[in-house]
Every structure is written in C-alpha cells, then in structure tokens.
Amino acid sequence: MGMDRPIAATSENADIVDRTVTASPDVRYCELLQTNAAAAASVASAVLGSFGPRGLNTALADGDGDFAVTSDAAAIVEKLDTKHPVSHLVAGAARTQGAQVGDGAATAVIIASALINEAVAQACVGVPMVHLLAGIRLATPVVLDFLKQTARASAYCDDPMLYQAARTAARGDKQIAALIIEAVRAISPERLTEDETFSLSKRVMARQGATTRLAPGLILGTQTPGERAPVSVPKPWLLLIDGDLAPERIPDEGLGTETGFQRHLQLQEDFAEDVRKLATVGANCVFVTGDIAPSARVLLEEARIFCVESVPASDLAELAAYTGGVPVSRAGLRRSIGELRNHLGTANTVARDPRLQAVYVEGGSGRPMVTILVGAATPEVLAEKSGIARKAAATVQAALRGGVLPGGGAAELAAVKYVRRVRQAAPDKYVHGVDCVIEALKAPMVSIVQTCGFSARQVEEALRADAQGRAEGWGISAETGRVTYMYDLEVVDAAPVKIGAFVTAVEVADAVLRISAIIDSDADTRAGALD
C-alpha cells in the first residue's frame, strides 16, 4: 500500500500516529487544491470583517462611482469580482443561502472555507480525497440531527427568545427587533408558520426620509398614480388585474388590410367599453401588474378611478389576501357586472404619498397585514438599515417555524462533542474527513472571537465546557471574552438558519473538493490535471 505518510496536524489527531497509510500526493494536484482553497478563503475574508456582534460594515464601490455600506454577507459577495470558478461557486452559495433563508450567508461561507482548507491540508500530505469526502459524509448527518433535536421551540410572539433572535439578527438594534415582534403579533400565526408563500422579510419597505415605524396594512413601493388621481380614496373597492390593462393587439401585417384595420377599431371600442364598465361595477381603485394603456388611463382618470400599474405579482397576491379581492386577467373584464363585483376587494382607505413614492392600503377586509417601514436620511444608511430589518424578519419567521439555537457559533461548537463520538467509531481511513468537519464547526466562533479582539484559544475553553457535560450552548462573550452560556446572554439564532448554512457549506465544499482539474476553455488547456 506504499509508505506511511505524515498527516496534517489538527487538535483532533494530535494523539494519533500513523493510523492511516496514504500514498504520495501529486504535486500538480496539490497546487490545484491549494489554489482552490485560497479562492474559497478569499470569499470568506471578504465577509469576516462584518461577521458577528462586533463586525464592522463594508463599503461596496463599483466602477460608476456608486457605493453602498453594508454588513450583509450576501450583498458583499454579490459585488465580489469572482473570476476564479471556486470563488464564483462559494459566492453563489452565499447568495443562495441569503435568498432562500434570509440570513446565514456569512456562516455558510466561513464553514465552507474552513472545511475546504482542512481537507486540502490533509490531501496534500497524502490522505486520499475519496476518504476525506467519505469522512465528511459520515459526520454531516450527526451535526444536522444534533442541530434539529436541540433547537428550542418558540412559543410565538410572547416568547422572549423570539425577540432575542430578532435583536441578534438586527446586530443589536432594539428598535428594529421590537418592530419585527410587533409585526408578528399583528399577523396570524398560521400565515407565518404554515404559508410557504408568505415571507415576512418582504413586508419591509425602505424609503428615504421616512420615519421607521410599523404601518398598518400594506405599503406598495410602486409607481404612484398621476397628479389627476385623488390623494386618497375612502371606502375603496379594489379590482386587481393580473397582466396589462390594454386592448388586444392586431399584428402589424394585419393592420394593412381593411378587415384587419376594422378588427383593430372594434377591439379598441370593446376595450374602452370594458374600462368604462369598471365604474358601473363599483371599482374605484384598480391595481395592475402590467402596464395601463394611455387610452385606459384617460378613461380611468375621467371616472375618478385610482389606478396603479407595474405592481409586482407578489404584492398583488398580498393585496388579494389583505382585501379579499380575487385577481382577474384582462380577458376577465368581459365578464358580467355581477361576476366582476364578486372579484372586488375592500378596505378602509387607499392613499398615495408622492413624497415617498408609495401607495398605502389600510383596513383590508381579508387577512391582517402590516408593513415594516424603514427610513433613513441617506441612501447608503437606508440600504444597510433595511437589509438588517429584512434579515431580522427572516430570522424571526424561521425561528417560529423551526425554533432557536444558541448563537455566536455556540450551536456549531456544541455539535463537536457528538462528531468526536463518530470519529471514535469510524474506520481509520475516514477519521481525517471527520476531523475536517470538527475544525469547520469551530470556525464560526473562532471568527467571531477574533473579530471581537480576543484569542482563538478561548474557543477551546468553551469546547471544554461543552465536553464536561454542562448544558450545551457555551460560547465566548463579546464583551468580556469569557466562556458564557449563550442563552444567558440572550444570544440566539433561528435553527433553520443554522441548519441551512451548514447544509450549504457542506454542499459547496463537497463540490469544490471534487474538482480535479480546471479547464480554460479559451486556451483549451487543463490546469492541474492529474497525470
């Protein structure tokens, strides 16, 4: 089987001597692995400075001179110049984590980078990659089972842990955290926990110059009606149209014939009649996902009908749920007056705010709804503040669905004890892959501790506290640097965020570690291919 080779040292294998016999690694293959690990680490380094309770903001600039200030990892990696395939892959995973879960992008990147780095170190001293991957697969379900089983269920909005999760995600912003919890109280529990189409983070509306507050009903950040439209409509009847409010078109070649032109005129007249019918139906507010034809806008304004176009489909769905309306298509306007009346939604008020470029809908007769309005004096601060609010909202909704875990990297660190048990029972050839998972689980807390100005050695003290059989969830206080029970510090994260971040990290690490060559299609060459 070849000569025994030294194994890359970690805190987990210091007591093992030559338990695994490995072959000499290929030099070019090692160079490829190290380059890939460096590419992953470059993405992690971009988010490390803003990670944790003492993380700082990152200024993002582009070639046009525009810039933004943010601590959101998903926004940071979005601006990275990821030319290397691995950095592009890791950044894409962070964006996916942010889009699907709403938070945890930085955690996913940090764990993935640590996992890749540890595996590469082992592979470059001779541990076969196939054995490393097998060891990682052996440990992964143990971590996931631990995180799921130890999550503490949240007892809806009166549970103080829910507020703690919101405040942690909001980087300590108590105002934002309180608004999120207040919003939860105003929305039905079933909507938050069972409706997969509903996202609380999408109910965050950012407007420069606005006062940060919880607004009743819906605020639509869409194109407001023209100046001729009424400022507000009391006791509105809303008609929701999915599509364009425009006449059916005749192909250009058809207009060149007498028959086609006459058909065009007839369609125009039929459309005008459909629009005039809206007043007879009783609709005095029209919301359209597409465009409103100029001829239709004239008719609507003459009838004093409040009309809004370019409404996002998700907002139209929320309007329908909030007002009890049923959206219709353009063709649906041909229905009878009685049928159309059955599609109308109702509310107490619809109003426009030209200064904030927003439309307010309050007092809907359907499901209860609120909007978390976030304001700031400058666009840069507004982007950061609204991003924090969206993360906090996503975290709270995730906590309602899946419970909470200790934050500050404590949940991942607590899983180490159970992965070590897997290591003891694992075949020798898989031990080093399990070691990679153990080191990666330490990475979030190590990163936070270093950002706070403390030594990474203090993480081992928290690890010992977990190993001694005390309650799981020990971490390092960002204030004192001492080992502290994170639940006592009220530092918690949503369990689905933690679980999603770990799954994302393992998936991207597995994909990167399986790369044996990078092909430059332009030069038609292979970089780092095995001989």
Of the candidates 101, 112, 39, the one whose C-alpha atom is nearest the C-alpha of residue 74 is 101
pLDDT value for 480 = 87
CB 132 within 8 A of CB 432: yes
Q: Does residue 18 carry a pLDDT above 50?
A: no
| CA 484 – CA 143 distance, rounded (Å) | 22
What residues pair up with 526 in beta bridges, in sequence order? 519
pLDDT tens-place string over residues 368-382: 999 999 999 988 889
CA torsion through residues 227, 228, 232, 233, sign: negative
pLDDT single digits (tens) 195-227: 888 999 999 999 999 999 999 999 998 666 666
**Burial (CB count within 10 angstroms: exposed 0-12, middle 13-18, buried 19+), residue 5:** middle
Distance CA(109)–CA(435), nearest Å, equals 19
pLDDT band at 530 (very low <50, low <70, confident <90, very high): very low
Locate 501 and state its tokens.
């971040």
What is the C-alpha separation between 462 and 475, in angstroms, rounded? 5
Give yes or no for residue 54 having a pLDDT over 80: no
**Residues with Cβ within 8 Å of residue 145, at least 6 apart in sequence:** none
Token pair of 210, please?
């606005």
Cα(60)–Cα(78) distance, integer angstroms: 10
**Cα gap 218→361, rounded to integer Å:** 5
363: burial class by Cβ within 10 Å (0-12, 13-18, 19+)?
middle
The string of pLDDT tens digits covering residues 303-332 is 889 989 999 998 999 999 999 999 999 888
Kindly tell me the sign of the dihedral angle through the C-alpha atoms of 75, 81, 82, 87.
negative
- Residues 399-446 have pLDDT tens digits of 999 999 999 999 999 999 999 999 999 999 999 999 999 999 999 999
What are the distances in angstroms from CA 245 to CA 291, 302, 308, 337? 6, 16, 11, 18
Question: CB–CB of 447/426 below 8 Å?
Answer: no
Locate 440 and state its tokens.
């990666």
Amino acid at 393: A
Q: How confident is the model at residue 357 (pLDDT cuts 50, 70, 90)?
A: confident
Question: Is CATH 3.30.499.10 the classification given to domain 27-152+405-517?
Answer: no
346 pLDDT exceeds 70? yes
Percent of the chain scored above 70 by pLDDT?
Answer: 88
Cα–Cα distance list, 295 to 285, 298, 405, 442 (Å): 17, 5, 57, 64
Say what percent of the chain tops pLDDT 90: 49
Going from the C-alpha of 476 to that of each of 118, 156, 451, 491, the distances in angstroms are 23, 28, 12, 11
* Angle separating helix axes 160-169 and 174-186, nearest 10 degrees: 130
In the numeric block, which tokens belong to residue 448?
Answer: 């936070």
Which residues, 6+ apart, have CB-to-CB distance to 421 below 8 Å?
142
pLDDT of the residue at 6: 38
Average pLDDT of the segment spanning 31-39: 93
Position 184 confidence tier, pLDDT thresholds 50, 70, 90? very high
267-289 burial, b at 16+ Cβ within 10 Å, e below that, comes to eeeebbebbebbeebebbbbbbb
Whole-number Å distance between alpha carbons of 474 and 333: 62
Residue 117's identity, in one-letter code, is N
Residue 298 CA to residue 305 CA, distance in Å, equals 10
Residues 6+ apart with CB under 8 A from 14: none
**Residue ranges of the domains in the chain?**
27-152+405-517, 156-217+373-402, 218-368
> For residue 228, what pLDDT is reported?
67
Fold of 218-368: GroEL (3.50.7)
Of the ranges 155-164, 252-261, 293-302, 455-464, the best mean pLDDT one: 293-302
For the stretch 69-115, pLDDT in tens is 777 777 777 777 778 889 888 888 888 887 787 788 889 999 999 99
| Beta pairing class for 237-241 and 232-234 | unpaired
- Which is it for strands 285-288 and 306-308: parallel, antiparallel or unpaired? parallel
Q: Which residues contact 375 (CB under 8 A, 6 or more apart)?
A: 206, 207, 208, 209, 210, 211, 212, 382
Across the chain, mean pLDDT equals 85
pLDDT digits (tens, 9 = 90+) for 227-249: 666 788 999 999 999 999 988 87
Q: Distance of alpha carbon 267 from its chain centroid, rounded? A: 45
| Model pLDDT, residue 528 | 46
Q: How far apart are CA 138 and CA 144, in angstroms?
A: 11
Radius of gyration of the chain (CA): 28
**Which residues lie below 8 Å from residue 427, measured CB to CB, with a gap of 6+?**
none
What is the pLDDT averaged over residues 486-510? 93
